[in-house]
């Protein structure tokens, strides 16, 4: 009977082990239903497991996804711990080369730490002379509070022109840094004039425009035209580079002249390297300082975000329109609802607020006003120039009338197409254009205070109209200020109150 009972217990134990294996295959860790039986059998001394024959040889791996009651196999300390899983089959047959998993940090470039290190790590079209004494001094200045204000102020003035300039820099395929050259030339003012007479944002001299598509006349000065002067400046820089094969030298030649720099290269044994020429003082000090100063500015403005400089966006997209008649910018600005200052800035080449009477002039307008302006220009009845009607008196000559109004005979003749300039008739009516106000002059009002007035001594040839044009006001306002009539004859030596120079 006892043997039969033992046989039954052994069968029960086998069933429990089989169930545990089946649960393991299914991903379960619980064998709780048979745990009490296993504990009861293990308490019988006649079937206690030996050290050499543990009760359970197949471990049950716990799975976190399906928690269960802990497994209790035996109260005997020798058999209560399950043997560790055999993971030998899961290991690779060859040892892992840990050097393949760990990057070789010695081969990586050092991470930039300072602002200067970050700046040096950036890409420039013209190599920057890091460590050069004058270059670094200019950088230090322009990165100071005062220098930053200057750069931001200049770039604010550059905003209407930068889209065009940068598009042309890309079109010419020249270094991007060249777009910032006007910073040290003119601070991006199209009306800037140097002591030597250089004019416009690119500061062309009168004798340096030949061959570059610019003209100077009684009506226009193309050195102030931001489009024509930009094209001319980039062409000139390209010509310098093609001759010298070095961008710092090409930039120096823009300041000192190609001839002077070419002679310096010859004195440097034909070696076209600006920094050698700099060290030997082979060109003027002004030209030697010019290049490091420009490169310092360009190194900052090329990557303004690095220095926390928030540059203004371009404010105007420009469109060009070919005119076939004269246009007064003041009238056009009013009719097309364009700020007059915007038209003046875009057409700074004009001497007056009226376009030339001869030939075809290219007018620059905001692109978003193109359709509106074209509609105005297409209307033959739309007055685009202001006129005064002058009635010819006995003794009048066309020369005298032109002098009185401060305009040319050809202009009066053009406006009055049916007149015979050699035969004026008493009572004949002439149209005299009154739009000849200086484009960049100061305005004056009849109520100006004495603090804003200056005294002018009348010289030979002066008229109310010529003085009005010179001082940026109207003949009527000068007459009102001085308590005289429009018909008054000015005497040489007479003192007149006129608007003070800005």
Q: How far apart are CA 133 and CA 218, in angstroms?
A: 46
Catalytic residue list contains 24: no
Q: How far apart are CA 384 and CA 335, in angstroms?
A: 9
- Kindly tell me the burial class for residue 138, based on how many C-beta atoms sit within 10 Å of its own C-beta (0-12, 13-18, 19 or more): buried
Closest CA to 251 of 178, 198, 153: 178
Q: How far apart are CA 151 and CA 160, in angstroms?
A: 16
Q: What angle do CA 212, 220, 335 make, to 5 degrees?
A: 125
Q: How far apart are CA 383 and CA 365, in angstroms?
A: 18
Q: How far apart are CA 197 and CA 304, in angstroms?
A: 32
Q: Residue 237: enclosing H or E segment and its boundaries?
A: helix 226-244
Only one residue has tokens 């400046």, namely: 233
Q: How far apart are CA 412 and CA 390, in angstroms?
A: 11
Strand duo 362-366 + 318-322: pairing: antiparallel
- Read off the tokens for 125: 């079209």
Residues whose CB is less than 8 angstroms from the CB of residue 86 and which lie 6 or more positions away in sequence, other chains included: none
Task: Identify whether the C-beta of residue 69 lies closer than 8 Å to the C-beta of residue 32.
Answer: yes
Q: How far apart are CA 328 and CA 330, in angstroms?
A: 5
C-alpha dihedral sign at 25, 28, 31, 33: negative
Closest CA to 336 of 368, 309, 308, 361: 368
Q: How far apart are CA 462 and CA 457, in angstroms?
A: 10
Strand duo 362-366 + 387-391: pairing: unpaired
- Read off the tokens for 130: 């890091």
Only one residue has tokens 């030597």, namely: 196
Q: What is the largest CA-CA distance in the chain?
A: 162
- Kindly tell me the burial class for residue 436, based on how many C-beta atoms sit within 10 Å of its own C-beta (0-12, 13-18, 19 or more): buried
* Catalytic residue from among 177, 185, 337, 487: 185
| Rg of the chain taking only CA atoms, in angstroms | 45
Which residues are part of the catalytic machinery? 185
């Amino acid at each position: 009977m006892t043997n039969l009972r033992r046989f039954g217990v052994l069968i029960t134990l086998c069933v429990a082990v089989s169930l545990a294996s089946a649960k393991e295959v299914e991903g379960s860790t619980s064998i709780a239903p048979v745990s009490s039986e296993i504990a009861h059998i293990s308490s019988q001394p006649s079937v206690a497991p030996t050290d050499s024959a543990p009760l359970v040889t197949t471990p049950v791996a716990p799975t976190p996804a399906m928690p269960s009651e802990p497994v209790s196999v035996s109260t005997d300390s020798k058999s209560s711990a399950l043997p560790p899983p055999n993971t030998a089959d899961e290991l690779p047959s060859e040892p892992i080369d840990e050097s393949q998993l760990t990057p070789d940090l010695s081969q990586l470039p050092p991470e930039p730490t300072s602002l200067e290190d970050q700046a040096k790590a950036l890409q420039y079209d013209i190599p920057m002379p890091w460590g050069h004494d004058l270059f670094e001094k200019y950088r230090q200045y322009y990165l100071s509070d005062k220098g930053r204000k200057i750069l931001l102020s200049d770039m604010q003035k550059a905003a209407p022109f930068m889209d065009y300039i940068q598009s042309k820099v890309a079109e010419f395929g020249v270094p991007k840094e060249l777009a910032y050259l006007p910073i040290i030339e003119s601070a991006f003012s199209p009306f800037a004039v140097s002591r030597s007479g250089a004019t416009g944002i690119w500061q062309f001299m009168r004798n340096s425009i030949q061959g570059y598509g610019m003209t100077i006349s009684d009506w226009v000065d193309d050195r102030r035209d931001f489009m024509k002067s930009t094209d001319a400046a980039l062409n000139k820089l390209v010509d310098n580079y093609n001759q010298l094969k070095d961008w710092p030298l090409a930039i120096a030649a823009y300041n000192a002249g190609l001839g002077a720099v070419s002679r310096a290269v010859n004195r440097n044994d034909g070696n076209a390297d600006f920094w050698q020429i700099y060290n030997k003082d082979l060109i003027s000090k002004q030209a030697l300082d010019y290049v490091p100063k420009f490169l310092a500015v360009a190194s900052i403005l090329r990557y303004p975000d690095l220095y926390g400089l928030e540059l203004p966006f371009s404010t105007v997209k420009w469109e060009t329109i070919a005119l076939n008649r004269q246009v007064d910018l003041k009238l056009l600005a009013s009719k097309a609802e364009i700020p007059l200052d915007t038209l003046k800035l875009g057409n700074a080449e004009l001497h007056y607020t009226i376009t030339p009477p001869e030939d075809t002039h290219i007018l620059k307008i905001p692109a978003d006003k193109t359709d509106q302006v074209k509609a105005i220009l297409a209307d033959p009845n739309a007055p685009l120039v202001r006129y005064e009607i002058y009635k010819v008196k006995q003794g009048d000559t066309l020369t005298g009338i032109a002098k009185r109004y401060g305009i040319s005979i050809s202009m009066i003749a053009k406006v009055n197409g049916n007149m015979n300039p050699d035969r004026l008739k008493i009572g004949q009516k002439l149209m005299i254009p009154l739009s000849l106000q200086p484009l960049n002059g100061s305005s004056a009002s009849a109520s100006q205070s004495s603090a804003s007035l200056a005294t002018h001594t009348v010289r030979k040839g002066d008229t109310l109209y010529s003085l009005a044009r010179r001082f940026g006001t109207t003949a009527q306002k000068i007459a009102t200020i001085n308590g005289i009539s429009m018909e008054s004859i000015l005497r040489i030596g007479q003192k007149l109150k006129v608007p003070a120079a800005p």
